[in-house]
Structure 1
Amino acid sequence: MGALCGKESRGGSFSGPGRRLDSAPPERPTAPIPSNKRVVGGPPRTLGGGSGGNADEGSSSSSAADARRRAAEAAEARAKAAEGKATGKLGSQLQQQKKQTMNETMKQAAGEEARRREIEAANAQRTYE
């Protein structure tokens, strides 16, 4: 059985002359070794410098400090923009939870647990009688 929609194979594995099982396979041609070598040299360059690597130490450190300052400002702007994004009921609940302190969260959890125990005790009394 063959493939219904497949192409008919022409040649394939058996198109060439055969060889004996105890003989070695024919050698495959190898790619030629490139003769041109790259020349590495010249003065060391700083990656990311806008002046093509010819910057002196003073200007590169000031540009790095400037880039660091701009990155910090951008991060602060993103944080401020993310603070005010309370969309819908779930967003407002999330903002409320973020504003809670650890003690407030623990008090809230303890109150919920106490209410759960009271409900279980009331259900146990109802089912016992």
Structure 2
Amino acid sequence: MGNICSKSANKPDNFSTPGRTLGSSAQPKPNSTTVPPKITASTPGRALGGRDGASSSEDARSAAAKAAEERASKANKTGGKLSAQLNSQKKQTQNQLLNSRSEEERLARDADERVKDRNWN
């Protein structure tokens, strides 16, 4: 009922008027531009960072083979102590992992109880 009794001195809502339709604005449409012609090169491209002369496909193949060997050697390289622990945990089943964790927790609780008993006396 509040809308019926409102005063006309209130500012009208921005969305109460119908507004404009698409394309009825007075803004000029931009002129279309021409598409630049495609540039075609008659010579093949060069590899960046290489030697000044043209490189043969054998050099590219040997470089790719060398890079693949380096990646394979890095993948097979054994890590340090943490990676060994991670690999041993990956090999364990879930029950074995849970049992080892619970045993560690039991040992930690026993050690805490011994310290508590020692300090009590």
Fold match (TM-score > 0.5): no
TM-score by length of 2: 0.39
TM-score by length of 1: 0.37
